[in-house]
Structure 1
Amino acid sequence: MQIKIKKNNIKIRITGGYLRSQYVYTQRSINMRPTISIRREMLFNWLDSYIYESSCLDCFSGSGILSIESISRHAKFVTALEIQKKNILSIRSNMNRLLINNVKIVHTNTLKWLNSTNNNSFDIIFIDPPFYLNIINKIITLIYKNNFTKKDSLIYVEFYGSVEDLKIPKSWKLYKIKMNKKKKYILYKCLS
């Protein structure tokens, strides 16, 4: 199914890689706020020497922009978790249009998936849940407890609130951080 490009759709520019300057189209939603381009550029500059041939987990795919941006920058494979059917249809439509075939979209509740999936470890994990859910610490706990990381995995966390409120495992060390008035953009590195 192709997403129809309408006035009320959001048009998101891919900031780097072989798909640079192409667009991802998604439906407007009050519960979804895709990471803005300046922050995605910052994030992928942080990930520059790690993204090539990496396996990635996008915990709350939403528009799919982090998954698609990862592939554009030569990640090997992305597992994209998303609960909203309309978002899944948009992601599939964009992937078909951009000729991307190395993203596995899983229609699921992220908490349930992290609790029930066999131990798959990833090189890079994106944690950017809808802020109103207030589940960031649950997600971090499940990722750590169920061994979704390995030595040198990178975990990106985007959230509102205080850094001190995050319950980070001792084996995750702060690697990079950017803060504005309310929002935090943090990259952790798994040491073991």
Structure 2
Amino acid sequence: MSKARAGAPGQVRIIAGQWRSRRLPVPDAKGLRPTPDRVRETLFNWLAPILPGAMCVDAFAGSGALGFEAASRAAGRVLMIERDAKVATHLRQQQKALPAPQVEVLQADALTALASLQDPVDIVFLDPPYGQGLLPPALQALLSSGQLKPSARLYLEYARQEEPPALPAGWQMLKQTQAGDVAAMLVGQEPN
């Protein structure tokens, strides 16, 4: 779950796709930090060619902004992983209200869930709470699952004042962006 900033907005807006302009309430959870609209718009422009039909994992789901945006834009399946029981329940309520049958909400620790993925994955959103050093172990857990397709794309989000995460061997940064206190990159495997 993405946590760091107090005063998260009461709603997030789905930017495009099936539920364009639909506003989803943000659960009342301390420090919940939805990915800003500008960053999400940039990210999903990057992913547009590969998103339709893709298997996506939103590993620290929080508000669900990334996962629901992916589902709105024709992702084939979206697995949202959220540790907090109250927030996971809220995500399930939103999934039913849309309705979004392609979205599954799993209440679990993200690191444990990433290491035990059972299906091949196209896109993974890694937007953990800032300042807790979770990106490196999340990347390691994800790679240990053996479920990333060779063409997989990983979205990594972190606080702008933090050092960018070290990428695993064989992976390269494809795109990067910054907005406000958010820095993000899209990474993929280096060609053989």
State the TM-score, normalizing by the size of structure 1: 0.88
CA contact (8 A) 1:120 1:147 kept: no
Unaligned runs of 5+ in 1: 1-7
Aligned to 2:163: 162
Amino acid at match of 1:154: R
Please give the alpha-carbon distance, in whole angstroms, between the structure 2 residues aligned to 1:118 and 1:48: 24
Judge which range, 12-21 or 181-190, deviates more: 181-190
The 5 A counterparts of 1:143-162 are: 143-160=142-159, 161-162=162-163
Amino acid at match of 1:137: P
State the shift of 1:37 in Å.
0.9
Q: Within the alignment, does 1:38 sit opposite 2:38 as a pair? A: yes
Unaligned runs of 5+ in 2: 1-7
Q: Once the two structures are superposed, what CA deviation does each residue of 1:50-100 show, in whole Å capped at 9, x if it has no partner?
A: 100000011000011111110100000011100111111211111111111
State the shift of 1:15 in Å.
0.3
| 1:91 partner SS | helix
Aligned to 2:21: 21
The 5 A counterparts of 1:106-125 are: 106-115=106-115, 117-125=116-124
Amino acid at match of 1:124: I
Aligned to 1:89: 89
Q: 1:9 to 1:131 in 2, by over 3 A?
A: closer
Identity %: 26
State the shift of 1:181 in Å.
6.5
Q: 1:119 to 1:169 in 2, by over 3 A?
A: farther
Aligned to 1:3: none
Aligned Cα root-mean-square deviation (Å): 1.8
State the shift of 1:171 in Å.
1.8
Please give the alpha-carbon distance, in whole angstroms, between the structure 1 residues aligned to 2:118 and 2:138: 15
Judge which range, 22-31 or 73-82, deviates more: 22-31
State the TM-score, normalizing by the size of structure 2: 0.88
Please give the alpha-carbon distance, in whole angstroms, between the structure 2 residues aligned to 1:20 and 1:86: 26
Judge which range, 69-78 or 81-90, deviates more: 81-90
CA contact (8 A) 2:29 2:87 kept: no
Q: Once the two structures are superposed, what CA deviation does each residue of 1:5-28 show, in whole Å capped at 9, x if it has no partner?
A: xxx971111001110001111223
Amino acid at match of 1:175: L
State the shift of 1:187 in Å.
0.1
Please give the alpha-carbon distance, in whole angstroms, between the structure 2 residues aligned to 1:97 and 1:119: 27
Aligned to 1:5: none
